[in-house]
Amino acid sequence: MGIISIKSSDNLFWLGRYVERVFTTLKAFTECYDIMIDINDEEYINFCRRLGIANNYSCRQEFISSFLFDANDPASIYSSLLHAYDNAVEMRNTISSETLAYLQLAVDIMEKSSSSNASLLKVQEVTDWIFAFWGSADDNIESEASRNILKFGRSIERLDLYTRLDYPHELLKKEFSIMLNRLYKVGIDFNTHSIERLTRMILEEEDYSPYKFSIQNELAQLFVTGVM
């Protein structure tokens, strides 16, 4: 079914973003967790700063439990996963019950993991289900437009998180090219000036790090069109 409303396109876009947010922040969290084991107990403070989230955690242990599992912490992985699920559940007929089921499994695992004494081992399954989600989305979403919007959301989230987390420039370039390709396929109005500036900062500059906040700002402006 290739007919998509404004609301549905919004759901798909944010579904892509939140699923990616869970995936990438979980990966980054795992790295931070590793450092906290024997190098720096307070690495989480640096982690929060890099992600641009408030450090409302009183200690390492609180950070670990809240950032992973606290539904009331808007920065938490669980909270992002629930937002992904909320968007997905409204799109069952587009993404298919099969695809939705993988997010349901991820939610279930998060709920079970919070009481596990080896949370991070259990949480690995969330990553597995997200891989399965994307595989299923590729196979089961019939509408090319829907797939493009979903993956466009993923690309935008990646670009945002990659800059926050100082990912290698080559990865950023690759993702930006993917995003550009999808942007034209999605077929909605966008801010051409933002695209020009992003192209310059990501593809033409040697080092993107001096521009990371500008990149995040331009990503936020991407759909601000019309007279300014």
Partner 1 sequence: MYGLIEHTDEINRLLARYGVKFGIYKNNVFNERLFPFDAVPRIISKDEFDYLERGLKQRVKALNIFLKDIYTKKQIIKDKIIPEEFVYGAAGYMMECEGAVPPKDVFAHISGIDLVQGNDMRWYVLEDNLRVPSGASYPMIARELCRRASPDTFRANGVVDNRNYGDLLRNTLDYVNTGGINVVLTPGRFNSAFFEHSYLAEKTGSVFAMPQDLFVEGNVLYYNEYSGKRQRVGAVYRRINDDFIDPMTFRADSLLGVPHIMDAYRAGNVALVNAPGNSVADDKGIYYYVPAMIKYYLGEEPILSNAPTYLPFYEEDMKYVLENVHKLVVKDVAESGGYGVVFGNELSLERLYELKKAIQKEPRRFIAQEIIKFNDLKVVEHGVATERKADLRAFVLMGEEPVVWQSGLTRFAKDANSFVVNSSQGGGFKDTWVLSR
Interface contacts to partner 1, rule CB under 8 A? 1, 3-9, 86, 89-94, 96-97, 100-101, 104-105, 108, 187-188
- Residue number, 7 or 173, with CB nearest to partner 1: 7
Q: What is the DSSP letter of 209?
A: G
- Residue 96 Cβ, how far from partner 1 at the closest point, in Å? 7
- Residue number, 44 or 153, with CB nearest to partner 1: 153
- Residue 81 Cβ, how far from partner 1 at the closest point, in Å? 14
Q: Give the whole-angstrom CA distance, residue 3 versus residue 67.
A: 37
- Residue 97 Cβ, how far from partner 1 at the closest point, in Å? 5
- Residue number, 6 or 118, with CB nearest to partner 1: 6
- Residue number, 33 or 102, with CB nearest to partner 1: 102
Q: Among residues 64, 17, 9, which one has the least CA distance to residue 36?
A: 64
Contact of 208 with 169, CB cutoff 8 Å: yes
Q: What is the DSSP letter of 117?
A: T
- Residue 205 Cβ, how far from partner 1 at the closest point, in Å? 33
Cα dist from 64 to 19, 122, 139, 211, whole Å = 20, 14, 35, 30
Q: Give the whole-angstrom CA distance, residue 108 versus residue 119.
A: 13
